[in-house]
Amino acid sequence: MRPLLQLALATQVAALGPLWPLPQRVVPGSGSVLLNPATYRFEAITTPAELLKAFKRYRPLFFPRTSTPLPAAVDAGLVVNVRDDQADLALGVNESYNLDVNIDGTAVITAETVWGALRGLETLSQLIVFNFTTGQYSISGLPLHIEDAPRFPHRGLLIDSGRHFEPVAQVKALLDSMQYAKFNVLHWHLTEDQSFPIASRSFPELPQHGAYSDQEQYTWQDISEVVQYARDRGIRVIPEFDMPGHSSSWRNSHPEIFAEGCLSETSRGAFDPANRATFAFLLAALKDWTSGMFVDGFVHLGSDEVPSDCWNNTKDLAWMRSQGLANFTEVFDYFVNQMVLMAKKLGKQTILWDEAFMSAKPPKEAVIQNWHDSKLMQQIVNAGYRALLSNGWYLDHLKTTWESMYAMDPQFNISQDKAHLVLGGEGCMWGETVDPSDMESTIWPRAAAIAERLWSSAGANSTEEAEPRLLAFRPTGPLASWGGLIGLRVP
At 58, phi and psi to the nearest 5?
A: -85, -20
How far from 458 is each of 261, 406, 408, 411, CA to CA, in Å? 48, 11, 10, 9
In terms of Cα–Cα distance, which of 108, 136, 135, 103 is closest to 124?
108
Q: Are residues 365 and 382 in the same domain?
A: yes
Where does a domain end: 108, 127, 148?
148
Q: Are residues 43 and 162 in the same domain?
A: no
Identify the domain containing residue 397 by its residue range: 154-484
| This prediction's pTM | 0.95
In a domain, 103, yes or no: yes
In a domain, 38, yes or no: yes
In a domain, 13, yes or no: no
Q: Are residues 337 and 444 in the same domain?
A: yes
Residue 487 neighbours by CB distance under 10 Å = 9
Residue 476: the pLDDT is 55
Residue 488: the pLDDT is 35
> Across-strand partners of 134?
none
Per-residue tens of pLDDT for the chain, all 491 residues: 555 455 556 656 656 768 999 999 999 999 999 999 999 999 999 999 999 999 999 999 999 999 999 999 999 999 999 999 999 999 999 999 999 999 999 999 999 999 999 999 999 999 999 999 999 999 999 999 999 999 999 999 999 999 999 999 999 999 999 999 999 999 999 999 999 999 999 999 999 999 999 999 999 999 999 999 999 999 999 999 999 999 999 999 999 999 999 999 999 999 999 999 999 999 999 999 999 899 999 999 999 999 999 999 999 999 999 999 999 999 999 999 999 999 999 999 999 999 999 999 999 999 999 999 989 999 999 999 999 999 999 999 999 999 999 999 999 999 999 999 999 999 999 999 999 999 999 999 999 999 999 999 999 999 999 999 998 876 555 555 443 333 334 32
Give how many domains the chain has, as a whole number. Answer: 2
Q: Distance from CA of residue 167 to its chain's centroid?
A: 18
Query: Strand 129-131 relative to strand 136-142: parallel, antiparallel, unpaired?
Result: antiparallel
Q: Are residues 250 and 324 in the same domain?
A: yes
Output the CA torsion 463→121→87→340 (10° steps). 40
Where does a domain end: 96, 131, 148?
148
In a domain, 15, yes or no: no
CATH classification of the domain holding 141? 3.30.379.10
In a domain, 357, yes or no: yes
Three-class HEC string of the chain: CCHHHHHHHHHHHHHHCCCCCCCCEEECCCEEEEECHHHCEEEECCCCHHHHHHHHHHHHHHCCCCCCCCCCCECCEEEEEEEECCCCCCCCCCCCEEEEECCCCCEEEEEEEHHHHHHHHHHHHHHCEEECCCCEEEEEEECEEEEECCCCCEEEEEEECCCCCCCHHHHHHHHHHHHHCCCCEEEEEEECCCCCCECCCCCCHHHHHHCCCCCCCECHHHHHHHHHHHHHCCCEEEEEEEECCCCHHHHCCCHHHECHHHCCCCCCCCECCCCHHHHHHHHHHHHHHHHHCCCCCEEEEECCCCCHHHHCCHHHHHHHHHHCCCCHHHHHHHHHHHHHHHHHHCCCEEEEECHHHHCCCCCCCCEEEECCCCCHHHHHHHCCCEEEECCCCECCCCCCCHHHHHCCCCCCCCCHHHHHHEEEEEEEECCCCCCCCCHHHHHCCHHHHHHHHHHCCCCCCCHHHHHHHHHHHCCCCHHHHHHHCCCCCCC
In a domain, 40, yes or no: yes
Q: Are residues 119 and 265 in the same domain?
A: no
In a domain, 407, yes or no: yes
Distance CA 451, CA 353 (A): 21
Q: Are residues 270 and 167 in the same domain?
A: yes
Active site residues: 305
Residue 487: the pLDDT is 33
> Across-strand partners of 233?
none
Residue 481: the pLDDT is 47
225-260 per-residue burial string, b: 16 or more CB within 10 A, e: under 16: ebbebbbbbbbbbbbbbbbbbbbbbbbbbbeebbbb
Residue 472: the pLDDT is 84
Q: Are residues 126 and 191 in the same domain?
A: no
Distance CA 259, CA 261 (A): 5
In a domain, 18, yes or no: no
Where does a domain end: 99, 127, 148?
148
Q: Are residues 392 and 479 in the same domain?
A: yes
Q: Are residues 239 and 114 in the same domain?
A: no
Residue 473: the pLDDT is 79
Q: Are residues 135 and 170 in the same domain?
A: no
Residue 453: the pLDDT is 98
CATH classification of the domain holding 348? 3.20.20.80
Q: Are residues 343 and 365 in the same domain?
A: yes
- Exposure of 366 in the CB half-sphere (CA atoms within 13 A): 28
Q: Are residues 64 and 167 in the same domain?
A: no
